[in-house]
A and B are shown apart, each in its own frame.
Chain A
Amino acid sequence: MSMEEQKEKADWPREKPKRDKREQKGSIEVDMNPMVDLAFLLLTFFMLATTFSQPQLMELVMPVLPEEEDVEQEQPVKETQALSIVLGEEDQVYWYVGITQPEVHQFAWDEQRVRQVLEEAQNNMSELVLLIKPMEASRYENLIDLLDEINAVGIERYAIAEVTKEDRALLPAD
């Protein structure tokens, strides 16, 4: 081993602290990846958990139940002004004007046709009273859609009524 080599070896441990000092002068590198991962994880979580679409409310006003003594005071509705829409099973819609011996029309649920019926009634009857009669087996969605159409057409006097025996007699037997 030469002298120089020996000197180098002896110097080597002494040089190390020097190099360390130089490194400390430079910027400290922190590994940011885990933090970023976490940030994105949280971001995704909150984005998915957020309820973006708030549900909409539809207001429904039901009539006051008549007290037993004043049943007779109920205002009769003019037959020519009464439009009944019966919601039946399997999305069937029946509608008729009047109460005694009316002509019953029937079709499967169709937004356009429902609107047409409502608009016609709105234009031709000055004191229109609309009776909605959902049968037990009719779907809730049809009722909501019908209420929606009524609101869109702007009919103000409507009520949800019970399907009576007379109504059932009018409908085709099934």
Chain B
Amino acid sequence: MNPMVDMAFLLVSFFMLTTTFKAAEPILIEKPQSQSEIKMPERGIATITVGEEGRIFFTVDGKYTRKKLLKMMGDQHQIDFSGTEQDEFALLPSVGLPVEQLPGFLALNPQQRKGVDQPGIPCDTARNELSDWVVLTRVANPGVRIAVNADKDTPYAYIDRIIRTLQHNKIYRFNLITELESTE
């Protein structure tokens, strides 16, 4: 049995070291497939997630960036986020709330947060918070790349809103997240 156990432990250590955990996605996204061969980098990516029904979620990696981002977002919208709120935000997987609902959301515990049905970040001509998130993320981390993660059945109108928002903020080069085509 010993060789088998050795093997098992070897594999355990291998997987422990190589694993990067899947970030919890706020909603189920079925990615479209493509033959693109650019791998998604692990760092420096801000992701805009769009659900089938058009809800928008935003996240960026890096604890430090996120703390800074929340503080700036608060300044922009006259909300004062405390240090603990910033720490909580740094650990949050993805946000899909109008900014004024954030303090209440951050006060919940992780289990309760799962039960909250997030309405999505407002992104229309009257009120475009996605624009603020994107711009301030670029301020917090100038090297960040923007990626759009949309469900394959999303109507184009929702994607268009995002592309337009990015264009208005002088972001002309961004990425679309896809999955490697399984056939061929």
A binds B: yes
Chain A contact residues, CB within 8 Å of chain B: 32, 35-36, 39-40, 42-43, 46-47, 49-51, 53-65, 87, 134-141, 143-145, 147-148, 151-152, 160
Given A39-B8, A55-B178, A140-B32, 10 more pairs with CB closer than 8 A: A36-B4, A39-B5, A50-B18, A56-B36, A56-B39, A57-B176, A59-B38, A59-B174, A59-B175, A140-B152
Give the docked Cα–Cα distance between A32 and B15 (Å): 22
Contact check, A138 vs B152: say whether CB atoms are below 8 A apart.
no
Give the docked Cα–Cα distance between A132 and B144 (Å): 27
Contact check, B16 vs A46: say whether CB atoms are below 8 A apart.
yes
Which residues of B in the span 25-55 have a Cβ within 8 Å of any Cβ on A? 31-40
In this complex, the member of B1, B22, B35, B170 whose beta carbon has the largest number of chain A beta carbons within 10 angstroms is B35
Q: Nearest Cβ distance between residue A164 and chain B, in whole angstroms?
A: 14
> B157-183 CB contact bits vs A (8 Å, 1 = yes)?
101100100111010111111111100
Q: Nearest Cβ distance between residue B173 and chain A, in whole angstroms?
A: 5
Contact check, A144 vs B34: say whether CB atoms are below 8 A apart.
yes
Contacts A51-B20, A139-B152 given: A64-B163 contact, CB under 8 Å?
no
Cβ contacts under 8 Å, A139 to chain B:
152-156
Give the docked Cα–Cα distance between A58 and B37 (Å): 8
Give the docked Cα–Cα distance between A35 and B18 (Å): 22
Give the docked Cα–Cα distance between A54 and B37 (Å): 11
Instruction: State which of B8, B34, B156 has its C-beta within 8 Å of the C-beta of A138.
Output: B156
Chain A residue nearest to B171 (CB atoms) is: A62
Cβ contacts under 8 Å, A135 to chain B:
156
Contact-residue bracket for chain B: 35 or more
Chain A residue nearest to B154 (CB atoms) is: A140
Instruction: State which of B1, B5, B31, B154 has its C-beta within 8 Å of the C-beta of A55.
Output: B31
Contact check, B37 vs A64: say whether CB atoms are below 8 A apart.
no
Contact check, B155 vs A47: say whether CB atoms are below 8 A apart.
no
Q: Nearest Cβ distance between residue B52 and chain A, in whole angstroms?
A: 9
Give the docked Cα–Cα distance between A90 and B18 (Å): 42
Contact check, B157 vs A151: say whether CB atoms are below 8 A apart.
no
Cβ contacts under 8 Å, B174 to chain A:
59-60, 62
Contact check, B37 vs A56: say whether CB atoms are below 8 A apart.
yes
Instruction: State which of B32, B40, B180 has its C-beta within 8 Å of the C-beta of A141.
Output: B32
Please tell me if B12 contacts chain A, counting CB pairs below 8 Å: yes
